[in-house]
Amino acid sequence: MAWPTTGGIRLDQSAPTNVKVVPVKDDEDYKEADSLTVAVKINGTTRITRRFDPKCGVNEVFKWVEKHLENSEAAFYTLLQTVPNRRFVKYANGSIEIIKQNDPPMDIGNASLAEAGFESHEMFMFRCD
């Protein structure tokens, strides 16, 4: 058996949306002891990391991610985690939802990172649909 060397295909046979990363200078990290470190893996090879105040809104994380992306025509994009199994979805209209396991989506657009369940270190995978 040999692993594919030319990439792969998604189970739904669609091509993944190509996302380009733009190098930008981030705002100053939050340096207090209660900071939350958020890392996002974007293209399989690119990872961005920043520390946030637990009182800042979930929308601040999405603004930070969007600063690093070249304009995308996707209808929505998702920050995925496998453990715990949850997805943070931002739609084109600006609303943000969290989907945990098989639970129905919950609107968390106005929630702080602490209220949304962020812990001291979080790692996400970026998916653009």
pLDDT in tens, the chain (129 residues): 655 555 555 555 555 556 677 767 767 788 899 999 999 998 878 899 999 999 999 999 999 998 888 766 666 889 999 888 999 999 988 899 999 988 899 999 899 999 999 999 999 999 886
113, burial (CB in 10 Å: exposed 0-12, middle 13-18, buried 19+): buried
Residue 73 neighbours by CB under 8 Å, 6+ apart: none
Q: Where do the H-state alpha helices sit in the chain?
A: 58-67
Per-residue exposure over 47-81, b if at least 16 CB sit within 10 Å of its own CB, e if not: ebebbbbbeebbbbbbebbeebbeeeeeeebbbbe
Sign of CA pseudo-dihedral 18, 40, 71, 12: positive
Say how far residue 84 (Cα) sits from the centre of its chain: 14
Which tokens go with 25? 């200078």
Domains of the chain by residue range: 36-128
Q: Give the per-residue pLDDT at 42.
A: 87
pLDDT of residue 46: 87
CATH fold for domain 36-128:
Ubiquitin-like (UB roll) (3.10.20)
Distance CA 119, CA 72 (A): 29
